[in-house]
Structure 1
Amino acid sequence: MKNHESHHNEPIYTCPMHPEVRGNKGDKCPKCGMNLVATDGGTSTEHEVDLQGAEDIKERQQVELSFRYLTKGESMPLEISHEKKVHLMAFNENLTWFAHLHPLERDNEVYTVLVTFPFGGKYYLFSDLKPKGGAGFVDKKTITVAGNTNPPVESTALKLTSQVDGLTVKIENGNELQAKENQGINITVEKGGENLKDKDIQPYLGANAHIALVGTEDKMLIHIHPMENEHYPIYAETHFENPGIYRMWVEFKTSGIVHTADFTLHVKAGKESGGSMDHGSHSH
């Protein structure tokens, strides 16, 4: 394994979501709370993503998007992460529509995906991937879809309870979230008046849930995965860099059905963390 910064072939520990964050084994990312992972030191500045098929997209018409993931101008071998090589998360501009897709690898090292955008307007496409032997990174692309169908009206009102498929999903500590510090997100799931347990949540794409958060101001993605917790069937830890309003989607599986619950969070201003990366977080 080639190491670009160490003279002793020691691994460099970086955040899978924020590769610019580096530290030591056992450290946590101060931005999202994830464990730092060993890499060969490659950075996202060496990578680029070539998107084809986004030039003439119309609302409500299926389109094939093609992605080439490159490093230093050459095709980038990818590792499987949470059962897929690429997780593509798509959002419309006012964050009322969300899709979690998985482009398929073709023989020519191009990844393709079929998608139908329901409204005209601007969309954000986040490719979440991990080069072999390198740090994971997220690439953001912005596209425009032609059409006159308006999306649902954006609501910035606090929403900590979501009803989906006969389930009531709640963020129990949603009023306590603050920026600049690592913290837990406590999620309960209720069915027929009874709270589900951790054992009732089935694995989905290598985790018991996938959580996507996007700030309404910066439109940047936080993609996190829960960890085991004796009190909540879905529990995750993260770090909000900035206060403000965030849209949040939680994908989880029960009885063979994948559910998507959506929320709107109001994250308060918090104290500066001082850069410490150890806040007692559990493993992701």
Structure 2
Amino acid sequence: MKKKCKSYKDASPKDNIPAGPLNEICIHPKNSNMNQYNKGTPNCNAVRMLLLNFRQEVRVHQAATLIFGPSNFNDPEDKASSPQEADFRLVIISEDLTWFRLVRPGFVTGGAYSVTLIFPFEGNYILFADFRSKRHPSITDKLKLYVKGALPPKSEGMMEKLVFSSGDLQMKIITEQAFRTETQNKIAVTIRKNGVPLRATDLTSCLGAMAHIILVRRNDKSFQHLHSEADENYPVIGRILFSRPGIYRMWIQFQTGNQLYTADFTLNVAESNAQ
């Protein structure tokens, strides 16, 4: 008889699964260099990342320490890998997709991880825990967190945004054609710092990659994480197959000159058969 997966909704207290806001756990194994969140029933053998202190109140503009711990309810021996630079990366976004962070929680005693964050405004935040266990090379869990305090400013509608400029940094997405579903899309990015073009050799490793490209679809908050490529013309290149049309928010994080940069963009993806 096939073993039935337990979810947070049908778990009982004896299962030691915390009840509360952590009721949406979604896992998808990494395929090549892309880690895509896929809503559905988790694999029975998949380890899950839990927010251990989820009952604490988190308020805006106050430092909040979040503690995470991996657990496999069907295989207690399946623990997270020993701490390494790329073992656990955490993406945090506001539900309206206007705020973003990519961090690596630190390893603490007892097999847990912790990170301290300051949230800018009240509302729901989505946490994508990208990690691996001893028996699973890569897993992504989706968790939710509510932050209390002042409401965010009213956000404007999301229009396509292919250029980013802040301080000494200018970035531009170069496209040969419109972004479409069911076809391989190339996201080529130019970077200028103080007006000088950067090459791939000007970037240094950041959280296990030369650059991270995070995409979240506005309608359903589906998640994709790319590790960039590069060539002689573009220091950052992403290749992606969009399964659904819509508005996608995209963030690129990289490091150069011992300084970490995060740039935000908005992509409009059309149906492949649209005229």
Q: Same fold (TM over 0.5)?
A: yes
Identity %: 31
Tell me the residue number matched to 1:58. Answer: 59
Aligned to 1:159: 161
C-alpha distance after superposition, 1:110-160 (max 9, x if no partner): 111111111100000010011124231100001111112314614311100
Look up the match of 1:279.
none
Q: Which residue of 2 aligns with 1:49?
A: 49
Q: Is the 8 A contact 1:174 1:185 kept in 2?
A: no
Separation of aligned partners in 2, 1:104 and 1:247: 27
The 3-state SS of whatever aligns with 1:199 is helix
**In structure 1, which of residues 120, 123, 131 is the aligned counterpart of residue 122 of structure 2?**
120
Counterpart check, 1:77 vs 2:80: yes
Residues in 2 aligned to 1:192 and 1:114: alpha-carbon distance in whole angstroms: 32
What is the deviation of 1:195?
A: 2.2
2:209 to 197, 200, 207: 207
> CA–CA distance in 2 between the matches of 1:148 and 1:207?
35
Please say if residues 30 and 138 of structure 2, whose CA atoms lie closer than 8 Å, have aligned partners that are also in contact.
no
Q: Is the 8 A contact 1:160 1:174 kept in 2?
A: no
Q: Is the 8 A contact 2:29 2:35 kept in 1?
A: no
Runs of 4+ in 1 over 4 A off after TM superposition: 42-45
1:33 Cα deviation from its structure 2 partner: 9.1
Residue 19, structure 1, aligned to residue 29, structure 2? yes
What does the per-residue CA deviation read over 1:14-68, in whole Å, with 9 as the maximum and x for residues that have no partner? Answer: xxx84287xxxxxx68xx599xxxxxxx957532222123332111111111111
Task: Report 1:1-284 matches (<5 A).
Answer: 18-19=28-29, 32=34, 43=43, 46-55=46-55, 56-71=57-72, 72=74, 74=76, 76-78=79-81, 83-151=85-153, 153-173=155-175, 176-270=178-272
CA deviation profile, 1:198-243 (whole Å, cap 9, x unmatched): 2222222232111111110111211111123232111121221211
TM-score between the two structures when normalised by the length of structure 2: 0.78
Aligned-pair CA distance for 1:79: 5.7
Q: Deviations over 1:52-108 (max 9, x none)?
A: 233321111111111111122636222667x23210110001110001122122221
Alignment RMSD, CA only?
Answer: 2.6
CA gap 1:44/1:87 in 2 versus in 1, 3 angstroms? farther
Distance 1:176 1:216 in 2: 18
- In structure 1, C-alpha distance between the alignment counterparts of 2:156 and 2:133, rounded to whole Å: 36
Worse overlay, 119-128 or 169-178: 169-178
Q: TM-score, normalised by structure 1?
A: 0.76
* Runs (5+) with no aligned partner, structure 2: 1-26, 37-41
Report the Cα distance in structure 2 between the residues aligned to 1:191 and 1:66, rounded to whole angstroms: 36
